[in-house]
Structure 1
Amino acid sequence: MAQRLADLADQGCPNFFDSQRFGKDNSNLKRLAQWINGDINVTKRHEKSLLLSALRAAEFNRQLGQRVQNRTWQTLVPGDVAILDGSNSHFSVASVDAELSARAAANDIHPAGVLPGADDSIAGAPPLLAELMQRERLQRAYRPLRLRIQQLAWQFVADDLILTMRLPRGAYASGVIRHIFDLQSD
């Protein structure tokens, strides 16, 4: 366990959006589907934002899941967008050289996934979704594929593990804990 925690402190973990983003029993995604199909009318700005955020998070998680499966979530590949650690500044990666690889290994930059905007298409999505995203003027954004955990400390007291950590905005402690213990969500 101590080695797993040391690796986590050094390498981070996949930066998945956790289940809270999608609502209880994926209710946010279900309501989004109803909205897209015209079954419900969503007029409140906060609810629109919540539902569209769930959509973008689901698409990001799909991208990250593929990278985890391919074991490339920590490394840059040609065509990636790299994001600077601790900021929203990003740049396109045409090719990966030794300098970029070293910066990624040092957690200075991270591969980024797309939070789709109005001009992006989502594989398998209905055409009405694209219209909705354009109408709501969603802007493309990027999120690091890797979650860098700052000030991670731990101690074992009897049979308990006590963790302290500092996470960036938008990160989920429940996801870090799930990663530590290799837990599967229900």
Structure 2
Amino acid sequence: MSFNLDFAYAQGQPTQTATFRQLAEDFIVDEQLGFEFSGEGEHLYVQIKKTGENTQYVAKQLARYLGVKPVAVGFSGLKDRHAVTTQWFSVQLPGKNIDIDWADFIEKTQLNVEVLQQGRHSAKLRRGQHLCNDFVITLRDISQSDDLEARLQTVAANGAPNYFGEQRFGIDGGNLARAQAWFSGEDPIRNKNMQGIILSAARSYLFNLVLSERIKQDNWLAPMDGDPAEVPTGPLWGRGRPKSTDALLELENEVLAHLDLWRDKLEHNGLSQERRDLVLKPRSFSWQWQDNALVLSLSLAPGLYATSLLRDVLLLNNVSAEQYAPPAA
């Protein structure tokens, strides 16, 4: 079974190509928590600036260095590895008011990080708890054009398709193939963490298929008859009755009819019916030119993908994908 990741473009396929992530500094992410610390409590919050480092790996190193179990470390979101990212981690240290030598931590772990600040709080940092992510993205080897400017202006005015990014589906859609093998009984998955990754990929794929069809029908910018919200939404499949009705439910069932097995498995693996906005609307969106480089600044709420916005503007030559590709067998 093959999986098509060639989802529809809202403005037609872009005509220009840009070099993406040539340097880690070309993709800068600054996480904004959006709440104040209590100043006391058993959770130590640490703000870390990472260059070329994986969020989960940094969390494991924090746990190991501070002598706690991995579950004692919290973070709000997984940040891109080939980037410069600033984010918060929490570490549960009950009864421990210790003075941590962060220079020693960096030396012993050999992480390419800076510890910027810390504070105490009463609760663990949970996934998706932050307010937003601020991005500064540099796209190289492109020239100004009327078409590119028009695409940027359209995104600023209307938004972009709120697709889940292709990284959700694994290299060459590998997570989707794994989902099919699991759901069909060919290759059971025992590891709970891997189950969560595969379920998330499958659920996201169903959403993207519906959004792609809505774009093809040119009805993705406004709610359809039967949409449960005042803005256009798509399904995040799970247990319970679909939240859409009437014409929208009919459309979604038609688009997803060939994946009834997937919908059934998502319903029986602890997920509930939810909805997700079809339109990604960046906050504080601006751009400027620096020679043959386009520098974009924007802010996105948790769970939204900057790459989905970029996809509607330019074809991306993702240099980091080549650097981190697995070796040939």
- Shorter-chain TM-score bucket reads 0.7 to 0.9
- Name the Cα RMSD after superposition: 2.2
- Could you tell me how far apart the structure 2 residues matched to 1:154 and 1:126 are? 43
1:112 is aligned to 2:259 = no
Deviates more, 1:167-176 or 1:54-63: 167-176
Q: Which residue of 1 aligns with 2:101?
A: none
Q: Which one-letter code corresponds to 2:258 in the other structure?
A: G
2:211 to 56, 64, 86: 64
Shift of 1:164: 0.8
Q: Which residue of 2 aligns with 1:74?
A: 221
Number of paired residues? 158
1:178/1:184 contact within 8 Å kept: no
Shift of 1:126: 4.9
Q: Which residue of 2 aligns with 1:160?
A: 293
1:124 to 244, 254, 258: 258
2:182 to 35, 50, 67: 35
Shift of 1:125: 2.5
Q: Measured at CA, do residues 126 and 9 of structure 1 come closer, stay the same or move farther in structure 2, by a change above 3 Å?
A: closer
1:22/1:29 contact within 8 Å kept: yes
Q: Which one-letter code corresponds to 1:117 in the other structure?
A: G
Q: Which one-letter code corresponds to 1:16 in the other structure?
A: Y
Q: Which has the larger radius of gyration?
A: 2
Shift of 1:25: 1.0
SS of aligned partner of 1:152? strand
Q: Which one-letter code corresponds to 1:181 in the other structure?
A: L
2:238/2:263 contact within 8 Å kept: no
**Structure 1 unpaired stretches of 5+:** 83-108
1:155/1:161 contact within 8 Å kept: yes
Q: Measured at CA, do residues 174 and 40 of structure 1 come closer, stay the same or move farther in structure 2, by a change above 3 Å?
A: same
TM-score, normalization: structure 1?
A: 0.76
Q: Which one-letter code corresponds to 2:236 in the other structure?
A: L
TM-score, normalization: structure 2?
A: 0.45
Shift of 1:32: 0.8
1:81/1:113 contact within 8 Å kept: no
- Could you tell me how far apart the structure 2 residues matched to 1:27 and 1:175 are? 19
**Structure 2 unpaired stretches of 5+:** 1-147, 243-252, 319-329
Deviates more, 1:132-141 or 1:6-15: 132-141
SS of aligned partner of 1:49? helix
Shift of 1:51: 0.8
Which one has a larger percent helix, Structure 1 or Structure 2? Answer: 1
SS of aligned partner of 2:313? helix
Q: Which residue of 2 aligns with 1:2?
A: 149
- Could you tell me how far apart the structure 2 residues matched to 1:67 and 1:174 are? 20
Q: Which one-letter code corresponds to 1:72 in the other structure?
A: N
Shift of 1:4: 2.6
2:203/2:236 contact within 8 Å kept: yes
Q: Which residue of 2 aligns with 1:176?
A: 309
1:56/1:115 contact within 8 Å kept: yes
Q: Measured at CA, do residues 167 and 159 of structure 1 come closer, stay the same or move farther in structure 2, by a change above 3 Å?
A: same
Which one has a larger percent strand, Structure 1 or Structure 2? Answer: 2
Q: Which residue of 2 aligns with 1:23?
A: 170
